[in-house]
């Protein structure tokens, strides 16, 4: 991995934590976000609630560019501070961007 490789980071989470997510993830330097608002497709019902699922329909998609080196720190933040490794918290993934160097 050479210095300067860039990945696109995608984070989908409940809209009510958007400001906190952006604040924490900007610790990962060299990152900026584009914010997209949306609604989840799952409707809340008694069946889901019986199994302990809380359905939050108001979602936010954060799309950012970050160096590959700093993306590991971003995922650590999502797991440690936002519990993305637990159900019903959020989804995050990165996609390498070839040929884009800084």
* pLDDT at res. 1: 41
Domains of the chain in start order, with CATH, are 6-97 (3.30.70.120)
Cα-flanking dihedrals φ and ψ of residue 45, to 5°?
-150, 170
94: closest CA among 1, 9, 18? 9
| Cα dihedral 85, 29, 93, 54 sign | positive
Q: How far apart are CA 84 and CA 80, in angstroms?
A: 8
For 10-29, how does the pLDDT look when each residue is reduced to its tens digit (9 = 90+)?
Answer: 999 999 999 999 999 988 87
Does the pTM surpass 0.85? The reply is no
């Amino acid at each position: 991995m050479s210095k300067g490789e860039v990945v696109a980071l995608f984070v989908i989470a409940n809209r009510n934590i958007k400001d906190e997510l952006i604040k924490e993830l900007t610790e990962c330097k060299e990152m900026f976000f584009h914010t997209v608002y949306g609604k989840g497709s799952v409707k809340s019902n008694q069946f889901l609630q019986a199994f302990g699922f809380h359905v939050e329909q108001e979602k936010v998609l954060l799309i950012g560019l970050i160096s590959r080196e700093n993306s590991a720190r971003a995922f650590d933040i999502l797991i440690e501070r936002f519990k993305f490794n637990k159900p019903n918290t959020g989804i995050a993934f990165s996609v390498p961007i070839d040929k884009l160097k800084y």
